[in-house]
Structure formats: structure tokens, C-alpha cells
Structure 1
Amino acid sequence: MIEDMLRTPAAVQDAERHTAHNYHPLPVVIASAEGAWVTDVDGRRYLDCLAGYSALNFGHRHPALIAAAHAQLDKLTLTSRAFIHDQFADFCRELAALCGKDLVLPMNTGAEAVETGIKVARKWGYQVKGVPAGQATIVVAEGNFHGRTTTIVSFSTDEDARADFGPYTPGFKIVPYGDLTALTEAVDETTVAVLLEPIQGEQGVVVPPTDYLPGVRQLCTERNVLFIADEIQSGLGRTGATFACEQEGVVPDMYLLGKALGGGIVPVSAVAADAEVLGVLQPGQHGSTFGGNPLACAVATEVVRLLATGEFQRRSTELGERLHAGLRALIGKGLVAVRGRGLWAGLDIDPALMSGREACERLMERGVLAKDTHGSTIRLAPPLTITAEEIDHALAQLAAVLAG
């Protein structure tokens, strides 16, 4: 670690000196950003092809979102949920309409949304389905990433996220992702929910078989089980639709949302479901001091309005076709596989060439920022505001890296 720090710029060393090492960031220190571009402390510009793990779907400092934040900062930032503020109703009403659901429960982070979904599903199971007290189970998938709280890592299959954080929370059954037969066998009379990512982002942008999500929906309906879709990364325009589930003609019982909902300005998450599901919560049973605060609602309402135009979903579809065509052309030229949908891609690099980390470091040297995951895989998730020319630029830099 000391030798690594001696080889990095002073600003990077300073950032590392008093920070717990729970991340292994690329050695770049960003000072400003706009659109799809960021600038480091030395004035060098980089094309951002990660977009904050999809938190920056609308790019850095989108004018409409910045204006909404500025306007709200001059008026009111926090009340707590002990009171109602004037931004709350618009946000909840407009997000519920975007989701096609009755109710919204605002929180802050994606992990909080997942925890909320778990609590709601269990309470629904006991009060509505009639599962005996303390016996509720939730079926999840191998390779999942829903966050890093102690409950969530209890059903993770990623040892980096899970190891040495026990004792683990019971009540979860893990089955292979994309395997409808295994899922069907795991569902029994104690099952209150199936919790899935429509596309597994952290695992490397893994898209399930086309019949999988429709099969999950049918199974949950037949067995009186809630289908919870974690659209924290895949949702809000990333895949070419408002929600990734839409592309399979599927409507879950509950959406878990986050990341892009805050517009890259403030952390905002939410759970959306109909009244017979979210309505099981009563005052005092769940909450958050900052969840649904005025600043968050002002920004997130503007996010919902941007999505309501359909512009960003169309951009993701059209530019995603360009991105994926360019990536497929590199298969056999350093790439061994490409997955994804819309402006979201997982790339498997020939491990004989380099690791994913090495590829990202070399891309950084060429002015493109991306993120590795699981050995030789890297992820691309540029802002939905990226241009065709910028996509071509990123593809050219990737091709150069792979060519050595």
C-alpha cells in the first residue's frame, strides 16, 4: 500500500491518508464536471463512462436539476417527516404515476430502499398472506447486489461483501439467477417475496433469458408472492425504458428505486407499490429523518419530469445500439463477450491480455473512466446525455487499449 501511494499523485495520497480503504478507486482526483465530462485537479478532462453507477443518468450538473436544487436551497432543505412540506405531494404523486403504482415511500439510499422492501414484504406476508409469525422467507438470486447492510450481505454470494460480517440474518433462499425451475422449487408457503434485479449490474450487466422475468411474474401471481424488482441501477432510463422490467412486458408488485432518482445531486431512493402492499405500514413502524426531505423532493420531482418526456429513454435505446454494435465489433479483438441493454454494458476482456482493473487504468490514461468488476470484466454506463461522437471516442480508446 505504501509503495502504491508513493507512485500516485500527491492529491491521491492525501485523499487516501485519512480514509478507510473500503474502495479501491482509480488514481484520479476530480475537481469539476459537466455533462459527460469530468476534469481533474490538474485540468485534464475525462469522458465519464461510469456515471456514478447510474446515479448520473442525466449527466453532471444537468441545468434543470441544478436549477431545481438552487431554487429549493433558497427556501427550505429539511423538516423531517414530523411535518409535511410543500414539495412532498408533487414528488410522491408524480413518481407514483411514473411507476403506475398507488403509493411511494421515500428514503435516501438504495440499500435503504431494499431494506424497506424486505420489511414491507415480511409485514405483508404476516398480515395479508397469513404466513405464521417469524417464518417469512424471501427468495433471491446468486450474483445479486442489493447493497451492503448486514441484512443484505446475509444473502449475498460475493465473499468480499459477505465474509466476516456475520452472524447473518436468516429468512432468505438463494437460487441461480435466470433459472426459473430452481426459483419455482424454492417458493413455498412461507415465501412472501421474490427479490431480483431485472439485470444484474454488479455481476457484470448480466441479462437473464427472455422468458425469465415473465415466468417470475406468473409464478408470483399464482403463488400469492410479491415480485420485488430492484431497479436501483437498471431503472430510470438506463436500459432504454423507464424500467428494465418494461422491456419484458412485466410489472412487478414493488419497485425499488435510487441512484438516478437524486439526479446526481442528493441521495434519493424510494419504494413504489400499490396500497394493498405499502399500506401495511403504519406510523412508527418505519421511517427516515432525511427521507423525502424538501431538497431531495425538489430535485427528484424534476428527475421524474425529465423521464416523463421519454427523451432519455429514446436516447438510451438509440445510442445504446451504437455502443453495443461498436463493442460487438471488438469481440475476438481483445473482448470475449459483451452483455447489456441500452447505455449499459458488461465487457469480458480476454484474461490473457489484462485484468479489468488494468484495462480501466489504461482507459484512464487515454481519458476515459470506467469500472472493473469480478476479474476481467468492466462495466460501461455513460450518462444518457452522451453524444454519438463521444461514444465513438470511447470505443476508439477501448480498441486502442485492447490492441496494446
Structure 2
Amino acid sequence: MSFDVTAFRAHFPSLDSGLAFFDGPGGTQTPRPVAEAIMATMTSPISNRGTVSATELRAGQVVADFRAAYADLLGVPADGIVHGRSATQLTYDFSRHLAKTWRPGDEIVVSRLDHDSNIRPWLQAATAAGVTVRWLEIDPATTELILPDSFSERTRLVAVTAASNVLGTVPPIRRIADLAHAAGALLYVDGVHYAAHRFVDVPALGADLFVCSPYKFFGPHCGVLAADPALLASLWPDKLIPSSDAVPERFEFGTLPYEQLAGATAAVSFLAASSPASQSSSPSSSFSSRRAGLERSFQAVHAHESMLRARVESGLGAFAVHSVAADRTPTLLVSLDGRDARDIQKFLAARDVLAPAGSFYAHEPFEALQLPNPSLRIGLAAYNTVGEVDRLLDGLSASVA
């Protein structure tokens, strides 16, 4: 399935800067429809949600549209969608909610592959609750997780990423889900990096709770959690007495940022309208057709990004490539012996090519695999082009000349 990258790029004002952005894993650029949705909401007559005035009803509609959009994106019911300030904040919140049900002698499982936001909240909650922590280790030869034959019947939670934000490794989430559920445990999936590159079907993955971040796929800075509403109904957060007890509202603390929700909604509709079959459609396509559009768009984007990744890999020359898993996203972690990756980052930036150096909150993978810290991360996004990849490769080659 072809992908018209030129037509896609035309929606992004920042791409007119001449900069080549290979920093997508840290946050993508913003298309015009998303910015316009934010501005239109902020400047429209709007109040806090209510049932009397038109302004109150408008606020309620913004929230309803947001939940419908992320239901379409993630494949769960709309009342299973929770807004948060970030995926990190949501994970901290739900670690506390879930830890209320843990008892000494229980176990949780975390992974060495994960971003620290899907490790530290669980470790801290486990310490407070007095439960044991088990680890899924990484095979250094493949950068893939080493899975057990089973989890203990004492396991209450397994927390794992759907895709590594530094290595791109995509673990077998469905298999992990089956192991977790066979032990009677819940599966919490960090889908922040995964949702930026793959079509998401939370029930098919087997995730009980799944978090993602719209700013990784052209939206504003916030987090979204998806779960079965029945599971959410079984959890009670610490909350204010007057605030709603309804699901999912009881997990959203304080007044919601309506303009942010509108921008996040627009990002989903923009993606749904970006497939070859949908590019003539308005970004405000109906909810009933949006999920089908999303699936087509992600198929087209995946093919485009995979082609670019292969081109990058073929031209890396003397650089060591640490991203080697069989199934992975278009994100490459590379290093050069004897060179500080920050110097290479600065060299590329002087050529208007942006590829960051660091460890990117992936503390455990860097420690487990003894990766050079900092390393250079090359993150491809849908708006990248062959010409930009060639500029990157030329810059990398010149940096070692």
C-alpha cells in the first residue's frame, strides 16, 4: 500500500523549516488540523461541563468526542478511556490504585526492556505494599525478552512495554498476556512507542490496561489509558468527595483541559484520514469509519517507515547498531567506538538534522545491555523522506571522516 509522504507533510508547518526531524520517539511535530482544533476550542464559548448552558454542553461534547476517538484508536469502549497529564502520571496513579489490592507474599513482574515510567512506579508501589518484584530479563544477543514458561500463582501484575523506546524491540505481548492471565494476573502495557507505529487492538493484544501518549503521534502533550470499563469499575482511587464516581471520570482529577482533548481527538482523525483510501476525506470523518481508516493508515505508514529504516541501516557504515530484534519499530540506537554521541548530535544539528543523544529514560536496558551512554537514537516518523534519510547518512559519514 503506497503512502503519499508529500501530501502528508503538507499538513505540518514546522517541516517548512528545512530541519530533518529524527527525534520522533521523543515527540512528533504537530499538523495544522491539531493546532486548529486546540485554538478553536480555546477561543470558543465554553465552560466546565454541565447540562444547562450551551457552553457546558459544548465542554461535555469535547470530552465525549475525545473518548470516542481513542476508543476507535485503541479498540476499547469509549467509557474505558481515561485522560491523564502523561503516561507516566497515569502509571503512577494506577500503580497506587492497583496496589491497594496487593498483600505481602504477592508478586509483580516488570521488564528490563522498559522505559523507567513503566518500572519505577511499580517498584515503589511494591515496596510500599511489601510485595516481591520479579524481572523479565533481556537476551543480549537478540535484545528480546526472555520469557518464563509460566508466572507464579502469586503474581498480581505484569508490566511490560509493547515496544522499546530506545531499541525498537516489540515483545510478544499476546503471549505475555496469556501467561499473565493463566496465573490470574493483570497485564499493564506501556504502548507509548508502539502506538506511534502500529495499529493498536488492545483486546487482541490481551492488555488489561494500556497507556499511550498522543504527542508521540502528532497530538498534544497528554496521556491516555485504555481498559475494560468493568475492570475500571472494580478499582477505587483516592478522590475528592464531590467529584464524579462514574467510570472513567473518577480517575480524572480536576477539570479536564478541553482544548488539549480537542487536539488529541484531531490527531486521531488526522491519522485516520491519512491512508491512500482516505486522503481525499476530511479529517473529521465519522466515528463509524474512523477505525477502518486508522488500520489502513497504519498499514501504509508501516510500509513507508520500514523502507526508510532499511535505507538507514544499509548506510550506517562504522556505527554499531544496537537495535537487532526480529520484530521492531523504525527506531535505531547506534554508537561509534571512541566518540561521544553528543558530539555527533551537535555535528548533525549544525546540518539541520536532528537526532538526539542520551539514554532516554531507558535506565534498565542501558544497564542490562551495557549500552554506551549516551548513544544516538534515530527515530523515523511518517513525515520523514528518502531525501532526509540521505542527509542523515551523509552527516553521519562526514562526522567520522
Q: Same fold (TM over 0.5)?
A: yes
Q: Deviations over 1:174-212 (max 9, x none)?
A: 331444444x56x333322211112221xx224156xx4
Aligned partner of 1:397: which letter? G
1:55 is matched with which residue? 27
Q: Shift of residue 112 of structure 1? A: 1.2
Cα offsets for 1:12-54 (capped at 9, x unmatched): xxxxxxxxxxxxxxxxxxxxx834465xxxxxx5322103x34
| Structure-1 separation of matches of 2:50 and 2:180 | 33
- Give the Cα separation in 1 of the matches to 2:344 and 2:233: 48
> Following superposition of structure 1 onto structure 2, how do residues 163-182 of structure 1 map, counting pairs within 5 Å?
171=131, 172-177=133-138, 178-182=144-148
Over 3 Å counting, the alpha-carbon distance change for 1:254 and 1:355 in structure 2 is same
Structure 2: state its 5+ residue gaps: 1-11, 139-143, 240-249, 273-292, 360-372
Change (3 A) 1:168 1:121: closer
Distance 1:219 1:242, change over 3 A: same
Change in Cα spacing, 1:140 to 1:189, as seen in structure 2 (3 Å) is: same
Q: Which runs of 5+ in 1 are unaligned?
A: 1-32, 39-44, 157-166
Match of 1:350 in 2: 336
Name the CA distance, whole Å, in 2 between partners of 1:326 and 1:295.
Answer: 39
Instruction: Look up the match of 2:287.
Output: none
Deviation larger for 321-330 or 192-201: 321-330
Match of 1:231 in 2: 191
Structure-1 residue corresponding to 2:301:
316
After superposition, the C-alpha distances for 1:292-323 in whole angstroms (9 at most, x for unaligned) are 43112211111222233336524531232232
Change (3 A) 1:282 1:217: closer
Letter in 1 for 2:27: A
The structure with more helix, counted as a fraction of residues: 2
**Whole-angstrom distance in 2 between the partners of 1:350 and 1:363:** 14
**Contact kept? 2:74, 2:201, Cα under 8 Å:** no
Structure-to-structure mapping, 1:152-163, within 5 angstroms = 154=124
Contact 1:259 1:269 in 2 (8 A): yes
Please name the residue that 1:138 is paired with.
Answer: 108
* Cα pair distance change 1:231/1:149, threshold 3 Å: closer
- Cα offset for 1:385? 2.1
Q: Distance in 1 between matches of 2:237 and 2:322?
A: 49
- The Cα shift of 1:153 comes to 7.1
Q: 1:48 to 1:244 in 2, by over 3 A?
A: farther
Tell me the alpha carbon deviations over residues 50-86 of structure 1, each in whole angstroms, 9 at most, x when there is no partner: 03x3432xx33x1111111111011267738998622
Distance 2:16 2:193 in 1: 20
CA contact (8 A) 1:48 1:368 kept: yes
Work out the CA distance in 2 between the residues paired with 1:153 and 1:388.
42
Which of 325, 328, 332 in structure 1 is aligned with 2:310?
A: 325
Q: Could you say what the CA RMSD is over the residues aligned between the two structures, in angstroms?
A: 3.6
Determine if contact 1:343/1:384 at 8 Å carries over to the other structure: no
- In structure 1, the partner of 2:354 is 369
What residue number does 1:34 align with? Answer: 13
Find the residue that maps to 2:175 and give its secondary structure: helix
Matched positions, count: 331
Q: Which amino acid aligns with 2:35?
A: I
- Gap change, CA 1:289 and 1:225, over 3 Å in 2: closer
CA contact (8 A) 1:146 1:152 kept: no
2:183 equivalent to 1:252: no
Q: Aligned partners of 1:298, 1:318: CA distance in 2, in Å?
A: 29
Q: Given that residues 33 and 266 in structure 2 are in contact (C-alpha distance below 8 angstroms), is that contact kept between their aligned partners in structure 1?
A: yes
Q: Give the 5 Å matches for 1:194-233.
A: 194-201=158-165, 204-208=166-170, 212-233=172-193
CA drift of 1:272 comes to 0.5
Give the whole-Å Cα distance in 2 for the aligned partners of 1:381 and 1:295. 28
Distance 1:149 1:250 in 2: 20
Aligned twin of 2:92? 115
Contact 1:261/1:300, CA 8 A, preserved across alignment: no
- State how 1:370-389 maps to structure 2 within 5 Å: 370-374=355-359, 375=373, 377-389=375-387
TM-score (norm 1): 0.69
Structure 2: distance between partners of 1:95 and 1:213: 20
Give 1:90 deviation, angstroms.
1.6
Distance of 1:250 and 1:148 partners within structure 2: 17
Q: Which residue of 1 aligns with 2:226?
A: 272
Percent sequence identity over matched residues?
15
